[in-house]
Amino acid sequence: MSSNSPTPTQKQTLLIVGAGIAGPTLSLTILTHPLLSTLYTPLLFDRLPSTPTATGAAVILSPNALHPLFQLGLQPSILTHSQEALSITMWRSKSPATAPGRRLNGITNPAFAPDLATGLRAIERSTLSRLLLEQVVAHGGEVIWDAKVTGYAQTPEGVEVLLEDGSRRSGHMLVGADGGWSCIRKQLMGGDGADWKPAFAGASAVYGIARQPKGADGEGEEDVAGRGHAVLLDVGGVATWALPGGRVFWSVSVAEAAPPEGKAVTEVEGEYGVVNTGGYSLESTEEILQRYEKLWFPTVGECGDLFKNSERIVRAPLWQRVYDEKDIANLSTAGNVVLIGDAARIMPTYSAALSEYVHERLPRSKAIARQAWWMGVAFMARNWWWRCVRDWVVRWVPMDREGGKGACAKRCVGVGAGAGGNGGEEVKEEKVAGPGAGGWLHGVRLGVEGCYDGGPTLRGVKRDDW
């Protein structure tokens, strides 16, 4: 990526903007790699303070997302702080109805991967970020907090980031891992007036993390551990995923005609406690919760019991866009700036949650985005015909009740530079279990190994594999 090639005695500084998930993952990958750690020094920047309060809700990690995290040494801590989804049950209810819903279908051990001995796992986003950052610091990495990056500038030695306080930090390469509204992407694509923003997906979601209350049937935290539920409504739906310690991650998806006018994320004390409004008004967010308060939900009786027992509530508009290669790297000029994570591709939770942090490869990102779009259309069911299609598919299409034992996905292992070190690639495919006949996008693993040839990149790594 840079015209200046590092040597074993001269490390290059890699500036990484964003210390959420993608940034620390890249930093830890470099710090723990026997070759990369001798060539590069990662430096993380984040606008938050060093002791931020818990923000966001939770993420659902597929085995494909867990695989690289386990390789980075996080397996024990992730298994401790996350909850495996042992079953998911799909229900149908009117919008909103207090009567018990109709069971449509269910699956046990969804996306179970024998090589990892686990399936889907739910973990709080702030917890996952903390676990990654702890390992970054433990391996000698540095994080600069309270550092809001506003842009970057090229220098004779490489690149420097511009901070809000007027200071600058120099490095050799820059990685933008600063989310869906990336300032690095904005500048890379031309700044104000350019088409750099993500597209609105026509929906918003209200998320929360609550302690599981006892329902009318007496179910408590021991009864719901590992059990997830989704209630499909006339439009949108309500879903829960179990978290460790008798807690639950819940979400309410609603259709929206337009995104919020503001982008400011503010925390406001309201009827349901502290709500992170995500650019919406507190009143409109509370109106959604009030609308679904009496909605029947398995394990708790009424959704209101979840809302009122929440530790925090977050509302967010849903965005979607996978950016082209020319938009995520300055390949035609200095070749020292690149985007990763949500800065490079952002998509609704219908699909992204199942494959989070694993689809940096551009063609796969676009394929998953197409899948996410169709899943979103079907799930939201704004029209009666989509409602019929969604309900029929969920009801009658056989789900893999044995956790994927009858299906397979391809595991692609690249043998980068080859024996001669000439950059040739060989791909080996290995079958791993995964739901869906014939394999699915979230089950494809592409690992590329390469040798350093003294140039600016690792050989064997193609541009579309960034």
Q: How many CB atoms lie within 10 A of CB 396?
A: 9
What phi and psi, each to the nearest 5 degrees, are found at residue 280?
A: -90, 170
CATH number given to 83-119+199-319: 3.30.9.60
Nearest residue to 39 via CA among 48, 49, 29:
29
At residue 287, does pLDDT exceed 90?
yes
At residue 416, does pLDDT exceed 60?
no
302 DSSP 8-state letter? E
Domains of the chain, by residue range, sit at 12-81+124-197+322-397, 83-119+199-319
Specify the pLDDT at position 6: 57
Query: What mean pLDDT do residues 371-400 have?
Result: 74
CATH number given to 12-81+124-197+322-397: 3.50.50.60
3-state SS, residue 224: helix
Specify the pLDDT at position 435: 38
Residues 6+ apart with CB under 8 A from 46: 18, 19, 20, 23, 143, 144, 145, 147
Distances (CA, A) of 236 to 104, 204, 349, 375, 399: 16, 10, 13, 12, 21
**How many residues comprise the chain?**
466
Specify the pLDDT at position 355: 42
What phi and psi, each to the nearest 5 degrees, are found at residue 174?
A: -130, 130
Nearest residue to 313 via CA among 279, 266, 272, 280:
272
Q: Minimum mean pLDDT among 116-120, 341-345, 357-361: which range?
A: 357-361
At residue 2, does pLDDT exceed 60?
no
At residue 458, does pLDDT exceed 60?
no
At residue 227, does pLDDT exceed 70?
yes
At residue 289, does pLDDT exceed 60?
yes
At residue 339, does pLDDT exceed 80?
yes
What whole-number distance in Å separates Cα of residue 144 and Cα of residue 166? Answer: 15
Query: What mean pLDDT do residues 40-69 have?
Result: 86
Specify the pLDDT at position 440: 47
Q: What digits encode the pLDDT tens for the residues 238-269?
A: 999 999 988 999 999 999 988 998 766 677 77
Q: What digits encode the pLDDT tens for the residues 146-186?
A: 999 999 999 999 999 999 999 999 999 999 999 999 999 99
Q: Is 320 in contact with 30 (CB distance < 8 Å)?
A: no
Query: What mean pLDDT do residues 327-349 have?
Result: 88
Higher pLDDT, 126 or 452: 126
At residue 366, does pLDDT exceed 50?
yes
Query: What mean pLDDT do residues 52-77 have?
Result: 86
Specify the pLDDT at position 5: 57
Copy the structure tokens of residue 192.
């104000």
What whole-number distance in Å separates Cα of residue 138 and Cα of residue 77? Answer: 14
Q: Is 91 in contact with 230 (CB distance < 8 Å)?
A: yes
At residue 42, does pLDDT exceed 60?
yes
Specify the pLDDT at position 32: 96
Specify the pLDDT at position 156: 94
Q: Minimum mean pLDDT among 132-141, 304-313, 352-361: which range?
A: 352-361
Q: Minimum mean pLDDT among 50-54, 127-131, 330-334, 419-423: which range?
A: 419-423
How confident is residue 364, by pLDDT bands cut at 50, 70 and 90?
low
Higher pLDDT, 396 or 418: 396
Residues 6+ apart with CB under 8 A from 314: 55, 56, 57, 206, 207, 208, 275, 276, 278
356 DSSP 8-state letter? T
Q: What is the DSSP string of 157-184?
A: SSEEEEETTS-EEEESEEEE---TT-HH
Q: Is 159 in contact with 334 (CB distance < 8 Å)?
A: yes
At residue 13, does pLDDT exceed 90?
yes
At residue 415, does pLDDT exceed 50?
no
The pTM (predicted TM-score) of the whole model is: 0.82
391 DSSP 8-state letter? H
Half-sphere exposure of residue 325: CA atoms within 13 angstroms, side-chain side: 12
Give the ranges where 199-281 is alpha helix by DSSP (H): 221-224
Specify the pLDDT at position 212: 76
Task: Sheet containing 83-84: give its strands across.
Answer: 58-61, 121-124, 83-84
Residues 6+ apart with CB under 8 A from 49: 145, 146
Nearest residue to 29 via CA among 323, 360, 346:
360
Copy the structure tokens of residue 125.
């986003």
What percent of the chain is predicted at pLDDT more than 70? 72
What whole-number distance in Å separates Cα of residue 263 and Cα of residue 261? Answer: 7
**Average model confidence (pLDDT) across the chain:** 79
